[in-house]
């Protein structure tokens, strides 16, 4: 089968298309023929070595496809089932081994590219607003990268609850996407973000800031919070945040800061099914729209990473085998 392989850490150029043997099903596993493969910022962190991973390896952990074989011990799935996953290493490939414990049934009507890019970003949005800080109707929050995959999902889910969503974007096109998703106000990164947030909230600040950008926005996120506000730093698209003096949280209003990861919010099958089920059902009934901003052939994984890191994409992006 064809797959993308990384034999050394580095830039997008280290993503190379290779031929490798087909994987063989082991205990508790499904063999899935991929229909679409999700691309996420964490893939770039691993590729560069920011998150150390032995090489060579096949990148990616998210996708969707059709089950072609199951281990004898697996009873919940059978060949022909459509599944999606967000935690199956080696997903940049035509065939992937997926643990039955992390496989999610795909409802009828959910297209492969949507299913492949909905879980990691969708469940991230879910834990941020269900388990990190759950805003009440009428509260104001700040969402950075409002036209990105997580940003668009967060904005839709929050605005549907009656939460006032203030977002940041970089272009007019992205502003329109953010407003269409339900953002009340949209700011540019070159604005005095914290000053504008204070103006928009009558000097109070926001109840929570959901920040997946990191280094470039961290200070603005902190300065935008109300007393006892929550900063959820769930990513670092612009780079890691420098060392930080916790005493500052006291002086700024007894603030909270957390650096969560999805794995700790899907610790068992029940929690995984709760979060994924809410997202998949919302997609199936039309409550949530997943924007697939671009798709690339598997052989163009290098270009997909370049576009993602260059912030040239909106919504989710996928590879097609």
Q: In this structure, is the dihedral angle defined by the CA atoms of residues 311, 313, 318 and 321, taken in order, positive or negative? A: negative
> Is the pLDDT confidence value at 311 over 90?
no
Q: What is the structure's pLDDT at 318?
A: 98
- Compute how many other C-beta atoms are within 10 angstroms of the C-beta atom of residue 307: 18
Q: What is the structure's pLDDT at 71?
A: 98
> Is the pLDDT confidence value at 93 over 90?
yes
Q: What is the structure's pLDDT at 302?
A: 98
* Ranges 86-95, 226-235, 281-290, 296-305: which has the least confidence: 281-290
> Is the pLDDT confidence value at 270 over 90?
yes
Residue linked to tokens 């506000």? 229
Residue 235's pLDDT band (boundaries 50, 70, 90)? very high
Q: pTM score, two decimals?
A: 0.90
Average pLDDT of the segment spanning 132-155: 97
> Is the pLDDT confidence value at 106 over 90?
yes
> Is the pLDDT confidence value at 303 over 90?
yes
Average pLDDT of the segment spanning 44-51: 95
DSSP state of 287: S
Are the C-beta atoms of 23 and 96 separated by less than 8 Å? Answer: yes
Structure tokens at 235: 């990513």
The per-residue pLDDT for range 4-15, each reduced to its tens digit, is 999 999 999 999
For residues 291 and 286, give the distance between their C-alpha atoms in angstroms, rounded to a whole number.
12
Q: What is the structure's pLDDT at 161?
A: 95
Among residues of the chain, what percentage have pLDDT more than 90? Answer: 95
Q: What is the structure's pLDDT at 86?
A: 97
Q: Where are the alpha helices (DSSP H) in 161-258?
A: 172-181, 193-200, 218-224, 247-251
Integer angstrom CA distances of residue 28 from 67, 136, 274: 13, 41, 21
Angle in degrees, 0-180, between the axes of helices 112-127 and 149-160, rounded to the nearest 10: 60
Main-chain phi, psi angles of 235, to 5 degrees: -170, 175
Residue 98's pLDDT band (boundaries 50, 70, 90)? very high
Strand-pairing partners, residue 130, are: none
Integer angstrom CA distances of residue 33 from 69, 95, 170, 183: 9, 5, 37, 38
Q: What is the structure's pLDDT at 292?
A: 96
Main-chain phi, psi angles of 83, to 5 degrees: -135, 160
Main-chain phi, psi angles of 286, to 5 degrees: 85, 0
Main-chain phi, psi angles of 51, to 5 degrees: -105, 100
Residue 100's pLDDT band (boundaries 50, 70, 90)? very high
- Compute how many other C-beta atoms are within 10 angstroms of the C-beta atom of residue 10: 12
């Amino acid at each position: 089968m064809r797959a993308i392989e990384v034999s050394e850490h580095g830039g997008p150029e280290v993503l190379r298309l290779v031929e490798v043997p087909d994987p063989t099903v082991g205990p508790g596993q499904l063999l899935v023929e991929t229909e679409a493969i999700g691309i996420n910022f964490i893939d770039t962190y691993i590729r560069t070595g920011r998150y150390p991973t032995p090489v060579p390896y096949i990148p990616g952990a998210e996708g969707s496809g059709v089950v072609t074989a199951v281990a004898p011990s697996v009873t919940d799935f059978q060949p022909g089932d459509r599944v999606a996953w967000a935690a199956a290493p080696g997903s940049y490939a035509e065939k992937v081994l997926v643990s039955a414990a992390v496989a999610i049934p795909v409802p009828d009507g959910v297209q492969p590219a949507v299913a492949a890019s909905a879980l990691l970003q969708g469940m991230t949005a879910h834990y941020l607003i269900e388990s990190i800080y759950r805003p009440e109707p009428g509260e104001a929050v700040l969402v950075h990268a409002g036209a990105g995959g997580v940003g668009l999902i967060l904005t839709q889910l929050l605005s549907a609850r009656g939460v006032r969503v203030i977002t940041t974007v970089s272009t007019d096109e992205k502003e329109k996407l953010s407003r269409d998703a339900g953002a009340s106000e949209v700011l540019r990164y070159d604005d005095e973000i914290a000053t504008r947030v204070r103006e928009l909230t009558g000097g109070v600040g926001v109840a929570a800031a959901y920040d997946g950008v990191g280094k470039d926005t961290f200070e603005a996120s902190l300065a935008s919070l109300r007393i006892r506000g929550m900063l959820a730093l769930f990513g670092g698209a612009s780079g890691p945040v420098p060392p930080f003096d916790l005493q500052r949280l006291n002086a700024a209003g007894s603030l909270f800061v957390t650096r969560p990861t999805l794995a700790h919010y899907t610790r068992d099958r029940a929690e995984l099914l709760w979060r994924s089920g809410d997202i998949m059902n919302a997609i199936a009934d039309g409550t949530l729209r997943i924007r697939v901003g671009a798709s690339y052939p598997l052989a163009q994984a290098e270009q997909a990473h370049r576009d993602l890191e260059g912030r040239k994409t909106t919504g989710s992006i996928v590879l097609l085998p």
